[in-house]
Structures are given as structure tokens and as C-alpha cells.
Structure 1
């Protein structure tokens, strides 16, 4: 979409150009409300610490648990009001200074609640670098200095502050960078805090939230515990119970999902998030790309047997050998050096992927390349104009930016630059010091930072306008794998510094935009984000270090006692990636020594595909629908598959189209009042029931009544079978 901005004669437009924002965010501010209060610190720090500890502690267990910030957002509201009702209000003087503060500066207000939620966001988002610490100690059984491990966790999380500071004026101040997912939070805050008069026969937003929350909470007991099978209902498999092809077509879990559906909200949102939070154009772009890839390209490629596709499942994220069996990494790994044993590799097999997984890799290459060209073509002029206006002291503004500039001091740019310099220096120390246990040289860190810097703005623009964020994990693994093969720890360290620093930058900027909408003082936002990140990183690391050093054989199911929950499923995936990309390496997958070297053409394809759309828009500027075609989103639509399933996408799309097209156009008043509140309430109900089910039953292995409906798959196990003649896989019939 090409961005243009029409301002009044004074350069200020009091009307936000995005309709969804106008319908959701109040164009007002009360700067007299206190924000960074004693209540904010107590409840914010407590939320951050509790969520950090809980999510990391249970992240190592077989039945993982992740508590989202929305849980803290709801719980802290009554706690804040309780503190406002009970704490003394007299001022307290800080010893040896003239500063005073109050434990109770008045009623618990919206701005305090927003900052507490930002604290909670820091605690709920995870620390990616902890995976490195875990695989070093629990999988590779090597030592790592505790200071180096701690600083690794801190620097990978903090480096993103530098990128956030560099691009804040483009991704926060611009009214066109509207961060759609924030509108769900804005609606929930308004529902929880605004006093409304109920209309006759209707609900206030808070009443509506409570009704939907209770309904969602109660209902999730069914798909979450009692009748898990209704999460994946694949009718075709019930009819053709012995046909591999029919199950490949009909399985919503293992196949193409024709005729499959779900009765579970969490299934619809588990990989793409709530469809109610997406712009309608983003939903159409995703569904267009998804349909072309899954229902056109995949059947052609699979049944044409491209890349020996029929030897492997039609959709799978596993790696395979030439006989169709799961690839046995231990056969080619030198246990002493953690490098590839070339003699064993040459005597075993090249590494194979399902044809769908191979195409997803190629499309991820294309999506990143198209992101650069799309942003250059469609947004380059506007970015240049914004840079010139900023350099000259002016800004493109809407009412929200104007109110923020009028009422509050901006965060000085040197704060971000200082953090960037300090954190980069510490990261360099971690990589080059401590015996170079991370294997990543100084030039690798520089290159990782360069990739993050290059992609933060273009991916930030895509995220801020579509609610979809292309990832850098594949490209970072690919680059370091080609340049520095045979170094698994260097591979994961490079990926973390390059990929996660960008993810953190976008998280910081997204929270800044939330504070922008809610009119939070920028310096208070910065301080809360900074301390929340440091605190969360410390708690995540401390919890992980404690567990991996105190639980014998953690993450090794073959050595753990029967029934032990400490199996670390997420870390196994991370470990496998370090072997595949760091030991086998992309040269033996996507290079001349691998099966999938043709996938590299996708870089060129991705770079070129936005050009025809850009040309059509210039040629036919009156055709408004053209400006909504977003090639990076179309190409990268299946980036969550696998592990995302077809059914996760189809039901997400159906719900999204219903609410963001039909309801939005026919019942705009209802949509503007309740749509985002509905999204928050459904998510919150599922989250709270999931927590209760985990602690009350699943954590102690009370898994519910044993019956047909308890299984969490769709009875389409044949959909994962090969169809090539003579391939023998356990549980599958052999095709003659």
C-alpha cells in the first residue's frame, strides 16, 4: 500500500487516517493522571517476575504452560483497586533527598494499568537465548561460564533497543504505522476502565467482556480436557479409514484439510493469533497465498513426485533419509568434536525434507527478499519524506502524535544509542571471551547485527500495517551455515543475535505504539521496558540455570525416571536445528551438495514479484484494490506451517472474513464497540482455563476420562504415510 498523508494548512491533521484506529482509540488525553506510581512498580515487577519464572519453569516440562500478559492484565486490575482503597496516601520523603512520593496517589488509573501490562509483556515473551544455555549443558554436556551465559541472555534481549531507537520515528510516530494487534489491548483497557451507561437491551463493553470471558472460560473445559478431539474434526477420515490418499486430502492435522473443521477457539488462533485483530486485507492476502500453496502447488508437486515427494509424508517438518525413515543424526555426528563425520555421512544418506517443507523454506527466502523490494517500492518515498521532515524538525502527525508531543518529553535519542553501544560491547565480550565457547567470532556478531539492522525497518512496516511479521530465523541459519559450517553453537548464537534482536526491537516498538495510543509518558514507557527486560531476562536465565544444574538427566527421556515431566520438548527442536544447520549445514541441504539447491532461486523470485503489482498501481491508480495486494504476505503466508496445520489456517480465515468483512461492513457500530473486546475475552477465557487445567490436573498426570474423544489428533494417521512403492514405515501399509 502506498502511503500518502494529507494534512491541514498548519501541517496537523486531527483525524487519524486509519478507520479502525478512529473507531477504537480515544483522541483525548489527561496528562494529570499519574503513571509511574508505587502501585505500578509493585504490581508490574511482581507480574514480570511471576510470569518469567512460571513460563520458564513449565517450559521444560512435557505438558508446557505459557501464561500470557492478558492474564496479568486482568488480575492486576482488582489488585490495583484494592491497593488504592487500603494504602495510606500521605507523602513519603526519600532519605537524604527532597523527593517525595505517595503509596496511594489516588484511584487506580488506566495509565498505571498500561505500564503494569508492559511489565507483564516482558515476563511473558520468553528469552530465546536460554535455549542455547540448555542445549550446551543438557544436550552437548559441555560447560559454559555462568557469567557468559547470563550476559548472553541479557545482550540478545537488549540489543533490539538500539534498532528500536533508530526507527522509532517511522514505526511509532507515523499515523500509518497502526499496529493492529494493539487495538485489542486498547479495547480491553477501555472496557475495564471506562464508565458506560448500558443501553436498553444491550451491554456495556465491560459487561460484554465478562459474559464472553465466562462463556469462553467454561467452554474450554470441553476441548481443553474432556473432549480434546473436537479441536480437529476431519470427516473424510471417518469415511475412508484405510485410504492414504483420502486421508491426505481430508486430514486437518496431517493433510490438506478438505471438509475438516474445529470447535475450539484456541485451534483457530494458536499459530496466527486472533483473526479478529487482523485487517481484512491481511486476511485475504494470507488466504490467497495459503490457497495457492496448499491447494494448487502442493498437490501438483507431491503427485508429480518432485524431490521424491511420495517417499515422505505430504506435510511434515521432520527430516528423512533416502529410504523414507526419520533421519538419524547420531549416525553422522562426531560425538567428540560435534562436527560432521564425513565418512559416516557419505555412507548413510543425504538429508531429505517433505516437498511441502522444502517449498516453505524456499518461500521463506522469497518472502524476505520481497519484503525489501516491496518496502522500497511502496514505502520508500514516504520514508524519505519522513526523514527529511524529521531532519528539518517537522513530523507527520495525527491527533495521537500531536497530543504526545504537546504533553510529554520524548525519549532522547542518545538513550537508545548509549544502550546499543554498551550492549554491543558486552555481546562482543561474550563471543570473544570465556574461551570462545560460543564459537561465534567477532565478524559473525557484526554480520548478525547488520542483518537485524537491514530488516528491522522493512519487516517493522509489514508488521505495523498488516499484523504479520516475517521471520529472520531461516535466513540467519542459512547465512552462518554457509559461511561458518560445522559450528552448531555459532549457528544458534548467530541466529539469536540476528533474529531475536529484531524481534525484540519490534516488540519494543509495538509496546511504544500501545503507550502512544494510551498517552503514556514516553520516558516512563522506556524505563518500564528497560527494567522489565533486564528483570525478565535475569529470572528466565536464573530459573533455567537452576533447573539444568539441579535435575539429573534433564531433557534426556532415556535417562529420566518413568513419568518424569522434565523432557524439554522445545529444547529438543532447538537442538535438532543446531545439528541440521550447524553440523549438516545448508551446503548439504540448499547448496551444490544438497538436494534442494533450486530453492535459492526463490531469493530472486521474491525480489522481483512486487514489481508487477507496483507497476499496476502506477498504471491504474484508481483501482484501489491493487494497493491492498501485499506480495511478502502472500508469499510468506505459510511460514507457520509446519508445525501449523491446515485446519489452523482455514478456520482462522473463515472467522476473520466473517468479522472483518461481513460484520465490519453490515454492523459497523457493533464491530467498533465489541469486535476487539470479543477477541480479548475469548483469548482470556481460554488462557485462564488452560492455567487451571494445568495446575489442577495435567501437572499431576490426571489426564481426564479415557475414551475415544480424549485423543488430541484427528484419526487420520495414514495421512502421514508415504505413497511411493516399497517404502516401509512403521504403522503404514506398504504400497505394492
Structure 2
């Protein structure tokens, strides 16, 4: 329910400001739980939700002051058509197949690339990468400053305290899973992944690249998931391999944690869900592609505005930028986007003022100002539909603030 679009349905400015699908979603309401539940309002703490939504408001405010920025960058990005704002087939697919990808080797045609143009991204997509770079180093700096001593203390005393830890006591009533179960599943899936990496010619992910992704996910499970970091690393190590970059990101980023679930039940349920989900997801995906292809590839526009290749194009753009063209060309010495690399250095220092303020004024809780969460919220606008903002915030307030504080028994239940 886009109020601004209802007020002025033929105004382009109102569409940019008010639409949840084609704009920044001001005064946009929804009753769809897929949107309302996007920020996970029923279990993420209120202080984290505040960080998230304050940063979203900042991002929306920036877009409000420059409502024609979208249109300007759409035209600019058409020169090199890999941007989250462009349909796949209308520009990218044709360009992809005939110009910069060699049909024989499936690698980058460097001559064609140099003769055509350097890469151009939309400004919103480029800024998204800046926030990603800041968050990568900011999360490590934040954890080191605010939680480093506690983590080290817990690590040194973990074995001694395990006997007294309440979580260990609660889990002790359940039978343990033999490690051979995990190792067996791990090595079977690892072997399948290696075989697929070699058998599927579009992938070009060598066995050592797969092992590198897995090692990185193990090392970086605390304090950060990889995502863009995985794309950067793979882009340098496996240049000219866009599909391999997507695989590398998948294996190096998806990490899940569980607590207080019976180990056997968790193992069996996850294995069963994974097997069933593989077939179900593939079937649904094929069904959607066959019935909505004209909306997904950009040849037609869905009159409801709800079906598009928007998120798919974000993944496509990332695979081309990091996997095919590579970070050296995209962010190299002569690149338009080289200044974005300063985000890594900025991220190291941004948490420091809040740490010093917290040390000096602990009662004001500056430790709850979480720079990585703020960066995450700032990234929402360029890459996500905005119809969740108002209703998601209201759901978070009702659950994590009001119910938690004033109806705590209901909240626990």
C-alpha cells in the first residue's frame, strides 16, 4: 500500500519516493509477512533493530534528497550494462555472450573489454560495496574492542567451566552424535562438490579453491561471515571465472548455529530437510522460470510490479564484477571505484570513538552503537524491496520493546 503512489499515481517523483518495488518506500505499508518478517522482528533484540532501522532511515533520507539519482545512474550504467537496475537479457545477457566472454574458453575477452569501456555500476550499487568493505573490518574491530577480553577469557577457561555451564548441563541429557556421522556426511558432500566443480564446464572451480572456501568459513565464523569478502578473495585467486565465484561464495559464507536442540533430532531433520529441499527448490525454481520468464528476463514488465529479475541480477552483477572482470580491474589503480577501497581502513577506526565514549560514559551505552549493523542497514536500500521498513519496524517494536518489557511472560511463551 504505497500512499504516495496512490496520491499521485502518474508522478515519477512520487514513484521513486513511495514505491516499495521501484523506489525508497516512504509511507509504504504491507500486510505480507514475507516483507514484515524480513528483519526477523520476533527474535532479534531491540537494540540491534534500532541500529538497523536508524541506518535504513539515513539511507532513505539520502535517496529522498536526490530522487533523480536512480534515473541518472540507470543511464550511466547502460554504457557497461552490469548493474542491479538493469534486466538480465535486455542488456547484460547479449553483452555477456557476444563481447566480453570468449565463447571457446568461457573466460574474459580482455581485448574486447579494453576496447569497449571500463565497468560502470549504478551509484547505489557502488555505495553498497563501500558499506560492505566498511563492515568487513568494522565487525572485527568492534568484536576486538568490546568483546576481545571476554572471548579470550572464555576460551582459556572453557574446559574448566564446561562442567558448570548451564548450556552444557541442559544439553547433557541428550545422547551425543558420533563424530563419524558428521565426517561421513562432510566427506561425501565434499567429494560431490569437487566432482561437480570439474564436470560442469561453466563452474571451473578447482578442488583447492573449494578447500580454500571451506577453510575461510571455518576461520571467519567468528566474528564475521564472508559474503563480499569471499567474492574478493575468489576474484583474485580465480580470475575470469564468474560461476566459480558464485560457488566459492556459497561454500564460504553459509554457516548455521544451533542451541538446545537434541543433537540426533537436529542431525536427522537437517539432513532430511536438505535432501527434500534440494528437489523441491529446484522444482519450484523451474516452475517460476517457465511461467514468469518474460518478467524475469526483462522482455516484459509485470503490471503488479512484484515479479522481476531484481535479486537475480544482483547476483549476476556480483559474479561479473568479482568473478569475470575481477577486483583488480574494478578497483585497480586506474579504476573509477578505487576510492571505495578506503572502506576497509575506515571500518577499522569507526568503532573506536564509540568504544572510548563507552569507557568514559558507560551508563549511556555507547557499546550498543554497532557499526557493522548500521552498515548492513545502509546496504538494504540499493538491493532490497523497501515495503518492509515501516511494518517491520512496528513488528519489532511490538515484539522486542513493548511485549518484552511489559508482557514478558507472553513474550517468553
Please classify the TM superposition score into its range, dividing by the shorter chain length: 0.7 to 0.9
Equivalents in 2 of 1:307, 1:253: separation in Å?
Answer: 15
Equivalents in 1 of 2:157, 2:183: separation in Å?
Answer: 21
Q: CA deviation at 1:656?
A: 1.7
Distance 1:556 1:669, change over 3 A: closer
Equivalents in 2 of 1:422, 1:263: separation in Å?
Answer: 44
TM-score with structure 2 setting the length? 0.77
Query: In structure 1, the residue corresponding to 2:154 is in which secondary structure?
Result: helix
The question of 1:496 aligning with 2:268 is answered no
Residues 227 and 249 in structure 2, CA contact (< 8 A), matched pair in contact too? yes
The question of 1:453 aligning with 2:226 is answered no
Equivalents in 2 of 1:495, 1:554: separation in Å?
Answer: 29
Q: CA deviation at 1:424?
A: 4.3
**Given the alignment, which residue of 338, 357, 365 partners 2:106?**
338
Residues 389 and 395 in structure 1, CA contact (< 8 A), matched pair in contact too? no
Between structures 1 and 2, the one with greater helix share: 2
**Equivalent residue for 1:481?**
235
**Equivalent residue for 2:174?**
408
**Equivalent residue for 1:98?**
none
Q: CA deviation at 1:631?
A: 1.6
The question of 1:278 aligning with 2:50 is answered no
The question of 1:265 aligning with 2:45 is answered no
**Equivalent residue for 2:388?**
648
Equivalents in 2 of 1:354, 1:422: separation in Å?
Answer: 42
Equivalents in 2 of 1:263, 1:556: separation in Å?
Answer: 26
Q: CA deviation at 1:434?
A: 4.4
Equivalents in 2 of 1:254, 1:436: separation in Å?
Answer: 36
Residues 255 and 646 in structure 1, CA contact (< 8 A), matched pair in contact too? yes
**Given the alignment, which residue of 150, 154, 162 partners 1:382?**
150
Equivalents in 2 of 1:646, 1:532: separation in Å?
Answer: 30
Query: In structure 1, the residue corresponding to 2:222 is in which secondary structure?
Result: helix
**Equivalent residue for 2:209?**
444
Residues 319 and 353 in structure 1, CA contact (< 8 A), matched pair in contact too? no
Give the alignment of 1:326-365 within 5 angstroms: 328-330=95-97, 331-365=99-133
Residues 587 and 593 in structure 1, CA contact (< 8 A), matched pair in contact too? no
**Number of matched pairs:** 393
Structure 2: runs of 5+ lacking an equivalent: 78-82, 301-306
Equivalents in 2 of 1:554, 1:576: separation in Å?
Answer: 24
**Given the alignment, which residue of 295, 309, 326 partners 2:61?**
295
Query: In structure 2, the residue corresponding to 1:439 is in which secondary structure?
Result: coil
TM-score with structure 1 setting the length? 0.46
**Equivalent residue for 1:682?**
none
Residues 234 and 257 in structure 1, CA contact (< 8 A), matched pair in contact too? no
Residues 234 and 252 in structure 1, CA contact (< 8 A), matched pair in contact too? no
**Equivalent residue for 1:369?**
137
- Deviations along 1:467-490, one digit per CA (max 9) or x if unpaired, are xxxx63322222222332212232
Query: In structure 2, the residue corresponding to 1:353 is in which secondary structure?
Result: coil
- Deviations along 1:489-546, one digit per CA (max 9) or x if unpaired, are 32222222212xxx2x31xx23xx2xx1xxx54234334434543x33764698699x
Q: CA deviation at 1:375?
A: 2.2
Distance 1:576 1:612, change over 3 A: closer
Equivalents in 1 of 2:30, 2:407: separation in Å?
Answer: 25
Equivalents in 1 of 2:187, 2:356: separation in Å?
Answer: 41
Equivalents in 1 of 2:294, 2:71: separation in Å?
Answer: 34
Distance 1:395 1:492, change over 3 A: same
**Equivalent residue for 1:660?**
400
